[in-house]
Structures are given as C-alpha cells and as structure tokens.
Amino acid sequence: MNQIKTPEPDQLLNREMSWLEFNQRVLNQAHDPANPLLERVKFLAITGSNLDEFFMVRIGSLQILIGSKHERPDVTGYRPQKLLQVAGDRVRRLMAEQYQCFEQLQTGLLQNGITQLEPDQWSRKQHAFLRHWFEENVVSLLSPIAIDADQNFPLLNDSEMALAVQLAWDPTKMLGGDWYQQPNELSEEERPSCRFAIVPLGRKLDRFVTVPVESGHGYALLESVIKKFVGEFFPGQTVRDCIAFRITRNADMRVDEDGAFDLLHGMQEILAERKESSCVRLELEAHADPATREFLMKCLHVDDLHVFETHGPIRLKDWFKIAGLPGYDGLKFEVWPPQDSPCFSVERNIFDVIRDGDRILLHPYQVYDPVVRFLETAAEDPDVLAIKQTLYRTSSRSQIVKALERAAFNQKHVTAIVELKARFDEERNIKWARSLEQAGVNVIYGVRGLKTHAKICVVVRRDPDGIRQYCHIATGNYNEATSTLYSDVSYFTCNDVIGGDAISFFNAIAGMSIPQPMQQLSMAPLGLRQRILEMILVEIQNASSDLPSGIRLKVNSLVDPTIIGALYQASQAGVPIDLNVRGICCLRPGVPGLSDRINVTSIVDRYLEHSRIFYFHHGGDRRVFISSADLMARNLDRRIELLTPIEDETCKRYLLDMLDFYFQDNVKATRLQPDGSYWPVQRGDQAEFHCQKQLFRYAVQQRTEQFTAETSMFHSHRRDNELGIFS
C-alpha cells in the first residue's frame, strides 16, 4: 500500500468546512419553493439540529485541542484556533440565512392559516387566555434564580432555553441578604445600576402554546408568553431587559476504558460529566442589552468568538413540531408507503425464503418488517439454536430487542454486542443492555478502544440437512423508527462462507480472541481499508494497461487522506470515478492533472441517504460491496465495521440499478466543485430524473408485478400431514 501518495494540504477540502457546506445544502431545501411548505419547515429544523451537533462535537473537539495547547495543523493546514475562527464566521453567515428563510416560511405559514402570534398581535380575548395559562402553568412550575456572581449561576442543561432578566437596582424593594446590603455601604460609583435573574424554562412546558383563533392554527412561543408576564415574578421591581438564551455544551468526551471500573460505569460518568462540560456556544437574541450580554459572557466564561446572536427564535430544531402539524397534508410531501417485498411473503417461513436465494431490501422504499420478522421468527422457532447480534442505535420501543429477550426466554443462546459508546444514544443503550441481561442474554459492551459499528445478525439453525447460519447484514442500524427515514440496504443470505466469517466475527469480539482471517467479509480495523485499496489498485493497473476500468462509490462521508490519495492516483491513471457523497467530502474533484476524471455529487432529499455501496469494474468481473463504514479514518481505523461482497447476480444487478439512479438524478443532486462549493446538476435537454422518486416507483413496480403473478394463479389449500392442519 506504500504506492499511494498522501495528498498535499491544498489538495484536500477541510472537514469542518465541508460539513457546513452539507448543512447549507439542507438549508437550500428549506429555501426551495418546489418543496411543500411544511417540508421546507422541516428542512430548516434539520439545519438547526445539525448545527447543535456540529457545536457539541466538532467545535467541542477544537476547544479541547486549544485547551491542551495543541498547535499542530490538520491535514488541510488549519491550526485549531484559526479553524475555530473560520468555522465560526461560516456559521454566522449560515445562521443569517437561516433566519431569512425563517421569515419567508413564516409568511407562507400565515397565508395557510398557521399563525405565530406575538404579544402585540394578541386580542383582548387571547391576552386573557394567555395570562390565565401563564398563571396556571408557569408561575407554579418555574422559579427565577437571582444571580450575584458567576459562582451562583445555575447549572443549565445542554440546549435548554432560559430567560435572562435584567432588573433595575433598588435595594429598598428587595429581600435581605449580604449582597443586597444597603446603599449607604456603597459609594455612588460602586453601586450597581442593575441586577440579574435567570429563569430556566426546563423541558416540561411545550414551546408552542396553542392560542384560540377563528380559523386555522394559532400559537404563541413559550418565551414570548413568559416575557410578557415576567414582571409577575418580580413584583414591585422594574424589568429593564428580558431575553431568551441557551448554551451548548461540549459533548466530545470519551470514556477512559483503561481507567474506568467497567465500561458501563464509565459511560454513566461521561453522561454525568456532559451536564457540566464547558460552554461551546452561547446563543442569545440579537436585541439583548449590552449589559445582559456581558453578564452572560462573564458567568459562562465565553468570549465573543463563542457568542452567536439570533435574529429570530432560538432553537430552530423545535420547528419539527410545526412541520408535523396534523390536518395539513396538502403542505407535505405526497406519502410514499413502504412496499412489501415480493420475496418475503408472510405466508412463507422466512428461513425458507432465504434458503431459496440471497435477498436484498432497500429501505424505506420496502418495508422493514422482514428484518423484524427474521428475529421474531428465530425467537420462536424450535430449530433455532443461537442468535448473535450487534446493536448500535435502536428505537425507544425496539421490537428487535424484545425478540432477543424472547429468544433467551425460549432457551436460545443469545449474544448481543451493545455499543455503549454510540454518541447521544448512550443512555438508551445502557437501558437496553440492562434489560437484555435481565432476560438472560449474554451482553458484550463492545470492544476496548473501538466502537462496534457493524450491522449484522446471525441465526444458527438446525435444518434437515445440517446446521446452517442465516445472516442479515445491513448498512443501517437495527432501528424500526429510522428505517422509515433513512435510505439503507438490507442483505439476507445463508451462504456458508459468509456464515462462517460471521461466526468468526462474533467469536473474536465475544471471546476477546485474535480474529481469524476471513474469506469473504472484511472487518475494520484489520482488513477493510486494505480490501478497498486493493480494489482501487486493480482499477489503476487495468487503466494503465488500457483495459476497461471504473469505480462508483456511494457513501455518507469521504475524509480519509489515504483513500483520497488512491482515488487521485486512479484518476490520473485514467479510471472514470463517480462518487455520491451525501455529507462531508474532503476530495477536490475536477482539478487538472489531479482529479480530472472524478465526479462528486450529493443528494439531499426527503429521505436521509445512509447506504454505503461500492462498485469496481474489476476487468468486467463487477465487484459490488455494501458496508457499514464510511471512508473516514475513524471508521477504517477506530471502529469495528464490515464490508460485505454481494455475489448473487440478481442482488448485484439490483444494487447496480440503484447506483445508476443516484448518478442520473438531475432534480435533487448537486455537484461538488474544486473550491468546495456545490452547484445544482444541470438538466440540459435531459428529461427530469428524480432518484428517490424513481426508487419508490421501482419498489411499487416490483410489488405490482408480484401481485399480478400471484392473482393470475389459483392456490388450493393442502393438508399438512405432519401438523394435521390445512395450509
């Protein structure tokens, strides 16, 4: 692998800046009038949620580097302090555009009967209604906290909104206490002109207070209602300023797996530490009084670099609720119901279906039910001996976890590798791990120093012709909720070689043994990177020999410098390369002499593109893989991932058709430019081709053809002699 030259800093795009460009593409969908109004509101909410995570993780990481006096530049030449400044400037421009978009959407919502009512718009009746609501719901629940010094500042939860209230200094109207001591003890110069109180809004009260209106839907923002009546918390005192703010805390904290008593205990400590971690962002309303701003900055120990003013409501991610308002279906996308797969008839035993041949499912266009049924059937089937499963992110009411618990109850040998270090899902995974242990499941808390990100389940079953391993391998999590939102691939097989590799995979992790060489699967951090590089080198050799060549990759992120260097080398050798990268891409395409033959597109649409599919021409012997891994150093070197070859010709053709769709899109696709910007793909004389719509139609067509075939034949019931029933 020493043939690959690492790119120079100016040959790479910066990771943080590329991520922000991804959020810009999401924001562009909020701007796009071709999208239904409430879907645009949803895209805007996504940009708010994305920015929250960016600060918690990426900016948090930079803060840690700066605090540790780390001065070494990254692979693109940025030192931490400079990158913090550059990223902050880009975020401010992005936020300005967010709030411009918010104003446009508010106008559209108003025109469609969805009205956000500000206090100066309240009628007498609405004013009386909201005063009563305030007295009934707010006064008894919330409590203001007087602040005399930063040591007394309340511990606010991450992303929790609060109000900062500036009050005129008047000791004659205050309760006693050392810091209220009488004015004759202080000189005129020493006497403060104001004092402050904080009102944390907590999480119990709904952000959107429904207000009675003559037609449509009316609401007032919680903070607007409290601001209007905040004087009732401070009777007899003068409120000078009252503004909403919130802080974002550093979430880039890692458990010390060597120092922790055990991983479960260590993760619980991390969750506790996050509640008190440093502030990486202070958001406050742009009209805040300078004294209020200075007070908050001092108490939270932040400088101007970490202060972000909003020209509209804070915490835009809350507008997911407005986007989901019932009764406004005409302002949302046309429903695309997930289609039944023609392969997985509910009338057939799922193991018989898989034994007949390998199967591919594309979610959410096809239902996730076969994955759940695979586990539920295994839990009850008397011929199933064991189940081995990885769990990274699960749903809050996971049917899959329940199936594993039932399997253990039914005396199956059940092993679950539950990744406790899955960021922001740690609490849920701790809960599921304990529940599984109580049910009798053998729970493994991942691997020391690595995250187990692979998505695989193996069912060991006694068939009439011997023991067989049935495998489900996927690009997405075992999560029924996100399966309706994320575009992912499921692969079912009972191939003996893959089954043997899968058992070796679980034995290595559960038994903490030296992983044995695999014949088909490739696992990170041991062989996955090498397998991909080998595939690229074959294309380089073929192109250099004037033989046909080609590479097509669909991933979420492309960051790893070595992989990028290999792709640059392939381009220079004459290999045509198509990359579909949803989010971060550090490769510069179209640079003369470097990446002339590389084309990079990105698709941001109603479903989050999440599948990873790799194609290599390989001298006409088309090699197709699916993977849980993105092309990032963290995935290739610091996580346990799987790369799975798809050798069944029908499944391979299905995935190749999918890739064709992604590279034909001229509705939602944008093309990466050498400078890191993205331009819409030009349609020219071509007919409109909308990838996600075509994938849905493809799933409908498959189901329709199967339904037509089924209804063209008569099926008689036959007696099952073994069970004594009719089937």
Identify whether 200 is preceded by a cis peptide bond (ω within 30 of 0).
no
The token pair at 307 is 């202060």
Q: Are strands 145-147 and 194-200 parallel, antiparallel or unpaired?
A: antiparallel
The token pair at 302 is 């932040």
Identify whether 9 is preceded by a cis peptide bond (ω within 30 of 0).
no
Answer whether 632's CB lies under 8 Å from 606's CB.
Answer: no
The token pair at 419 is 């990744």
Answer whether 360's CB lies under 8 Å from 651's CB.
Answer: yes
CA–CA separation, 197 vs 175, rounded Å? Answer: 14
Helices (H), 517-560: 528-544
Whose structure tokens read 């792709």? 567
The token pair at 71 is 């001065």
Marked catalytic residue, from 453, 472, 610, 617 = 453
142 Cβ contact partners less than 8 Å away, ≥ 6 residues apart: 199, 200, 201, 202, 205, 226
Three state DSSP letters for 291-316: HHHHHHHHHHCCCHHHEEEECCCCCH
Q: Residue 599's closest CA among 714, 482, 501, 678?
A: 678
Q: Known catalytic residue: 453?
A: yes
CA–CA separation, 313 vs 207, rounded Å? Answer: 11
CA–CA separation, 412 vs 375, rounded Å? Answer: 12
Q: What Cα–Cα distance (Å) separates residue 74 from each residue in 13, 99, 222?
A: 11, 32, 43
CA–CA separation, 113 vs 216, rounded Å? Answer: 5
15 Cβ contact partners less than 8 Å away, ≥ 6 residues apart: 74, 76, 559, 584, 586
Q: Residue 106's closest CA among 335, 311, 326?
A: 311
- Read off φ and ψ for residue 470, nearest 5 degrees: -100, 125
Opening angle at CA 498, ends 492 and 499, nearest 5 = 80
CA–CA separation, 227 vs 201, rounded Å? Answer: 12
Answer whether 602's CB lies under 8 Å from 585's CB.
Answer: yes
CA–CA separation, 637 vs 525, rounded Å? Answer: 5
The token pair at 568 is 């640059």
Instruction: Tell me which amino acid residue 645 is.
Output: P
CA–CA separation, 336 vs 696, rounded Å? Answer: 7
CA–CA separation, 395 vs 398, rounded Å? Answer: 5
CA–CA separation, 57 vs 53, rounded Å? Answer: 6
CA–CA separation, 242 vs 166, rounded Å? Answer: 6
CA–CA separation, 199 vs 229, rounded Å? Answer: 13
For the annotated catalytic residues, the residue numbers are 453
